[in-house]
């Protein structure tokens, strides 16, 4: 140690380089010792060692992200290790590698260069990793306030070549159209940019394939497959939480693609920061692009979706009041909403009768009840108190001033309309009131809705808020 000759030019002599490689290997060893195997594999092993020039160690990183990260988090320590090898070393420089020139100690890291070559060669339009549903297109996607950002971002990606935000991270609860939008992107790209190579895969499939590749020692093919694309879409990434090696591979793939300015689209059922069991560095990078939240649907959107689906149902006429009823009552998500409509359509076709309200209620009893159960009196009380800027305790109190009593009556009315609770039950939950008080409140609000348009609007708004 310490005898390593510092080559004054990176094109140094054979044995000079050999000795340098040995000191690089020792630096790697120290890094591993201090930061652990994991950090080593993720970061340092990605670097190429290019020798020492005039007191400066020259390293190269495959991607800007890796370079910046190491610069920010590890550079001073790495420099210390080198200085311990040779005190003349005063600086550390990490450049972006001119890929093929990288020198890397044996046995380290991922075949980044191969990936880049493959990427250049890719030209045919192939959608891998799962069949695309022909129904999931932009045309069949109904846009409303809750999903307009997600829709616009997806559209932008499908239609243009510039990478303006990367990744696009779409998140929202189940059945709100995330998968639909991804398929729509794939269809659109196929149509308008047929040269582009697109991969769509569920995170689950990504994981299983990766595990299979590990088992059959075939990770090279796996890496090629997913890194060899212009647009990678990974659906439901919450599935790879807590799956260490898959996460790692996903992250490398993701970095490699983003650094090559390939578009990545990701969905999850929650926001990047709410993904548990996924490392912070992944989460922070996931949030670098555009994070678009798909909110629960509101009444208008639900009705719009139903109308658009009903239009495509040939031979069967769905009365407007049935669509409105469904939009009001099936609030959980779009998948369930569609399911409800399909059930009514199927039933009507089977029995050969026109669709009516009675039939709808009958056929959907269980669904409607399941959707109703979700709303509790407590939620209603809170929402109404919030809406009128009251404290919950005030609303449940015995105070009778109009500014409190009216909202209280509205909350009772909503509890009666939106939950299956009986009048006595509702009374009990409102500070132990009698069922006749509740009945009076319900009637009063019913009357007022007819005459007082402001109040009517408040009720409509609150209903929407609660059903969303």
Chain positions contacting ligand ADP, by CB under 6 A? 136, 140-142, 147, 172, 174-180, 305, 334-335, 338
Question: Which candidate, 130, 195, 200, 188, places its Cα nearest to that of 154?
Answer: 188
Q: Is 297 in the site for Mg ion (CB under 5 A)?
A: no
Q: At what angle do helices 299-312 and 334-351 cross, to 10 degrees?
A: 40
What would the two tokens of residue 346 be?
């199927």
* Shorter beta-carbon distance to Mg ion: residue 179 or 371: 179
Alpha carbons 232 and 130: distance in angstroms, whole number: 13
* Whether the Cβ atoms of residue 185 and residue 265 lie closer than 8 Å to each other: yes
* Shorter beta-carbon distance to ligand ADP: residue 189 or 306: 306
Nearest approach, Cβ of residue 125 and ligand ADP (Å): 23
* Whether the Cβ atoms of residue 441 and residue 405 lie closer than 8 Å to each other: no
- Exposed, middle or buried by CB within 10 Å (0-12, 13-18, 19+), for 303? buried
Nearest approach, Cβ of residue 341 and ligand ADP (Å): 11
* Shorter beta-carbon distance to Mg ion: residue 112 or 181: 181
Nearest approach, Cβ of residue 370 and ligand ADP (Å): 17
| Sign (positive or negative) of CA dihedral 425, 429, 432, 436 | negative
- Binding-site partner at residue 176 among ligand ADP, Mg ion, none, CB < 5 to 8 Å by type: ligand ADP
- Binding-site partner at residue 334 among ligand ADP, Mg ion, none, CB < 5 to 8 Å by type: ligand ADP
* Shorter beta-carbon distance to Mg ion: residue 63 or 179: 179
Piece of the chain touching Mg ion by CB under 5 A; list 92-100, 173-181, 342-350, 402-410: 173-181
- Binding-site partner at residue 338 among Mg ion, ligand ADP, none, CB < 5 to 8 Å by type: ligand ADP
* Shorter beta-carbon distance to Mg ion: residue 178 or 433: 178
Nearest approach, Cβ of residue 308 and ligand ADP (Å): 7
Which are the contacts of 108, defined by CB distance < 8 A and separation ≥ 6? Answer: 28, 45
Piece of the chain touching Mg ion by CB under 5 A; list 172-180, 287-295, 359-367, 370-378: 172-180
At residue 368, the 3 state secondary structure works out as helix
* Shorter beta-carbon distance to ligand ADP: residue 115 or 176: 176
- Binding-site partner at residue 305 among ligand ADP, Mg ion, none, CB < 5 to 8 Å by type: ligand ADP
The per-residue DSSP string of 381-429 comes to: HHHHHHHTT--HHHHHSS---HHHHHHHHHHHHHHHHHS---HHHHHHH
* Whether the Cβ atoms of residue 344 and residue 364 lie closer than 8 Å to each other: yes
Nearest approach, Cβ of residue 130 and Mg ion (Å): 11
User: Is the preceding peptide bond at 167 cis, omega within 30 degrees of 0?
Assistant: yes
Q: Is 179 in the site for Mg ion (CB under 5 A)?
A: yes
- Exposed, middle or buried by CB within 10 Å (0-12, 13-18, 19+), for 425? middle
Q: What track of x and - describes contact with Mg ion for positions 121 through 160 (by CB under 5 A)? A: ----------------------------------------
Nearest approach, Cβ of residue 196 and ligand ADP (Å): 22
* Shorter beta-carbon distance to ligand ADP: residue 51 or 177: 177
* Shorter beta-carbon distance to Mg ion: residue 295 or 444: 295
Which ranges constitute the DSSP H helices of 299-333?
299-312, 320-329
Interface with Mg ion by CB under 5 A: which residues?
Answer: 178-179
């Amino acid at each position: 140690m310490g005898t390593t000759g510092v080559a004054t030019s990176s094109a140094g002599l054979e044995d000079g380089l050999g000795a340098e490689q040995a000191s690089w290997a020792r630096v790697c060893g120290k890094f591993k010792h201090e930061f652990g195997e994991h950090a080593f594999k993720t970061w340092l092993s990605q670097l190429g060692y290019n020798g020492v020039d005039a007191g400066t160690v020259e390293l190269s990183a495959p991607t800007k992200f890796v370079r910046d990260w190491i610069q920010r988090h590890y550079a001073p320590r790495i420099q210390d290790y080198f200085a311990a090898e040779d005190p003349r070393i005063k600086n550390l420089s990490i450049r972006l590698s001119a890929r093929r020139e990288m020198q890397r100690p044996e046995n380290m890291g991922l075949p980044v260069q191969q990936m880049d070559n493959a990427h250049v060669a890719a030209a045919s339009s192939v959608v891998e990793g799962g069949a695309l549903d022909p129904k999931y297109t932009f045309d069949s996607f109904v846009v409303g306030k809750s999903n307009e950002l997600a829709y616009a971002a997806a559209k932008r990606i499908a239609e243009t070549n510039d990478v303006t935000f990367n990744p696009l991270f779409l998140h929202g609860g189940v059945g709100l159209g995330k998968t639909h939008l991804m398929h729509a992107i794939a269809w659109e790209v196929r149509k308008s940019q047929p040269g582009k190579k697109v991969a769509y895969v569920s995170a689950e499939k990504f994981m299983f394939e990766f595990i299979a590749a590990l088992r059959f020692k075939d990770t090279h093919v796996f890496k090629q497959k997913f890194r060899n694309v212009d647009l990678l879409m990974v659906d439901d990434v919450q599935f790879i939480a807590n799956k260490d090696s898959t996460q790692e591979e996903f992250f490398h793939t993701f970095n490699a693609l983003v650094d090559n300015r390939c578009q990545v689209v990701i969905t999850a059922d929650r926001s990047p920061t709410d993904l548990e069991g996924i490392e912070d560095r992944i989460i922070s990078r996931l949030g670098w692009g555009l994070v678009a939240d798909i909110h629960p649907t509101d009444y208008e959107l639900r009705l719009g979706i139903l109308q658009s689906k009903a239009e495509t149902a040939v031979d069967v006429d769905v009365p407007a009041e049935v669509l409105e009823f469904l939009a009001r009552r099936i609030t959980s998500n779009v998948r369930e909403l569609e399911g409800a409509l399909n059930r009514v359509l199927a039933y009507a076709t089977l029995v050969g009768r026109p669709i009516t309200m009675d039939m709808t209620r009958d056929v959907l009893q269980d669904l409607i009840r399941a959707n109703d159960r979700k709303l509790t009196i407590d939620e209603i009380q809170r929402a109404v108190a919030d809406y009128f800027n009251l404290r919950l305790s005030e609303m449940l109190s015995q105070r009778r001033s109009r500014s409190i009593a009216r909202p209280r009556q509205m909350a009772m009315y909503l509890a009666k309309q939106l939950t299956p609770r009986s009048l006595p039950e509702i009374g009990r939950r409102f500070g132990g009131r009698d069922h006749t008080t509740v009945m009076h409140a319900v009637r009063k609000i019913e009357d007022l809705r007819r005459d007082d348009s402001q109040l009517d609007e408040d009720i409509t708004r609150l209903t929407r808020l609660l059903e969303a």
